[in-house]
Amino acid sequence: MIRDLDALLAPVTAETFMAEHYDKAPLHVVGGLAKFAHVLSWRQINRLLDMTHIWSATSLKLVMDSQTLPAEQFCTRQVGRDGMQVMQPDAALVRQWVGRGASVVMNDVDSLTPGLAGVSEAIEAAGFGKAQANVYISWQSHKAFHAHYDTHDVWAVQVEGEKSWNIWEGRADYPIPHPAFRGQPQAHHEQAKGRLREKVLMKPGDLLYLPRGWYHDALAEAPASVHIAYGVHAPLGMDALNILLERALHESLFRQPLPRQDGTAAAKFALTSRAGLLGQKLAEFAREPKVMEALAGFVGGYRFQRGGNDLLAARGIAQDTADGGDDAPAWRVLAPGAKPVRRGAELVLKTASGTLPLTAPEAEAVAWLTGRNDATEAELGRAHPGVQAGTLLQRLAAAGVLAAP
C-alpha cells in the first residue's frame, strides 16, 4: 500500500523530485508490477460501478474518440433516493458504448477504496495541495482526448495495461479553472503545444508527473488500459486575497464609498489616490503577524479530510477483523498466464527468482490463479479445496508471482 511520498516516487527520491521536477518538468517513474497492484483492480472497478446510486451523468462520463457523449446516450431517468429525478448511467447502455470503444471516466474517486485514498494521502501529506482523482479506462487505438493541458498538476498512476503518452514542449502560463482558459479552441492548443518533447509508455506500476499547464495526450497501447489521474490543486496567490479580504472587513477605509466620478480631473485624482491608499493598506495587512499566521495555516492545511471513522472503537468494542468471504482483500496476479511445467518427475513454476516446486493439485490451482487478474483466499479454496490456499498464496507472493494484500 502506498502511504507516503517516498513510496509513491520510488526509486526516485523526494529530494530529486523537488529539485528537478516539481513545478519544473515532467517525470516518468518506472515502478514495477507490484508497486500499484493494490491501488485499483478490475474487481474493484466493477464493484464501484455496481454501486449504482453514487453515479450520475456528472460523476461517470463516456468519451468516444475525443467527444464526450451526451448523458441521454448512456443514462436513463430514474427516481433518486431523495425522490428527485436523476440521470443515472444504465449498465446495458454503458456496455454497448464500451463495446464500440468508448472510454469510461469515473470522477472523484480519491476516497472510494483504501488504495485510492492511500495515494491521495501521500500527495497531500507532502503539502502539494488537494488531490482529486479520476479513473480513465480506455481501449486500444481509441483516443479519449486531444492534446490539452490541465489547470492543476497531474500525477498519473498506471494500474492496468499500457498507455502511450505524448508530452509536448508547450506549457500554458499557470492556467486556472476559469472560462478565460477553459474556452480556448482546439486550434489554439494545437499551435501552443509546440514540438514533441518525449513519448512515454506507461506500464502497470509506473507514475507520470506533469506540472500544471503542460501539454499532453495519450493513447491506449494494450487491449485495455486503466490509469488514475490525481489532479493536485495547490493553494494559489489568489487565495491569499480571500484572507486579506477578511482582514479588510475590519478596516473602515474598505467599507467607505469610493469617490464619485463626474468626469472632472479632481474626481479622477481622488479615485486614484483612494486606490493607492487601499493598496498600501493591503500591503500593511500582509505584514501583520496574525494575517501571516492565518495564511500559513491555510496553506499548511490545504487538503481534503478523509477517514477517521471507527464506530466500534468509539464505543470501546473490539472489532473482529477476520474475514474469509468474498470481501476479503484480493491477491493481485503479477505474472498473468504463467503455467507450471513438468521437469522430469516434478512439476515446477518458473519465476523471476528461480523455480517453485508444486504438487499436482497445486499446479492445477496455480494455473487457475494465473489465468485471473486477482483472487481471494476464499475463492482459491473453493475452486481447489485440495490445496492449502493460504500457504500456497504466501509461497507465490514470496516468489514474486502475486502481490499480497
The whole-number average pLDDT for the span 328-332 is 82
Cα dihedral across residues 291, 292, 294, 298: positive or negative? positive
Point out the least confidently predicted range of 49-53, 65-69, 80-84, 146-150: 80-84
CB of 99 within 8 A of CB of 139? no
Q: Which residue has the cell 480506455?
A: 138
Sequence-distant (6+) residues with CB within 8 A of 192 are: 170, 172, 215
Point out the least confidently predicted range of 192-201, 250-259, 314-323, 379-388: 314-323
pLDDT cut 70: percent of the chain above it: 97
Does the pLDDT at position 335 exceed 70? Answer: yes
* Banded pLDDT at 65 (limits 50, 70, 90): confident
Task: Return the pLDDT at 312.
Answer: 83
Q: Which three cell numbers stand for residue 402?
A: 502475486
Phi-psi region of 3 (alpha: psi -120 to 50; beta: other; left: phi over 0): alpha
Does the pLDDT at position 1 exceed 80? Answer: no
Sequence-distant (6+) residues with CB within 8 A of 121 are: 3, 306
- What type of residue sits at position 93? L
pTM for this entry: 0.84
Task: Return the pLDDT at 251.
Answer: 96
Task: Return the pLDDT at 93.
Answer: 96
The three-state secondary structure class of 18 is: helix
The whole-number average pLDDT for the span 307-327 is 68
The alpha helices in 136-234, defined as continuous H runs, are 179-182, 186-192
Task: Return the pLDDT at 82.
Answer: 74
Task: Return the pLDDT at 174.
Answer: 96
Q: How far is the C-alpha of 152 from the C-alpha of 239, rounded, in Å?
A: 15
* Banded pLDDT at 324 (limits 50, 70, 90): very low
Q: How far is the C-alpha of 269 from the C-alpha of 253, rounded, in Å?
A: 17
Task: Return the pLDDT at 319.
Answer: 58
Say if residue 320 is exposed, middle or buried (CB neighbours under 10 Å; 0-12, 13-18, 19+): exposed
334 DSSP assignment: S
- What type of residue sits at position 361? P
* Banded pLDDT at 270 (limits 50, 70, 90): very high
Task: Return the pLDDT at 313.
Answer: 82
Task: Return the pLDDT at 206.
Answer: 98
Does the pLDDT at position 328 exceed 70? Answer: no
Q: What is the pLDDT of residues 124-177, one digit of tens each?
A: 999 999 999 999 999 987 777 889 999 999 999 999 999 999 999 999 999 999
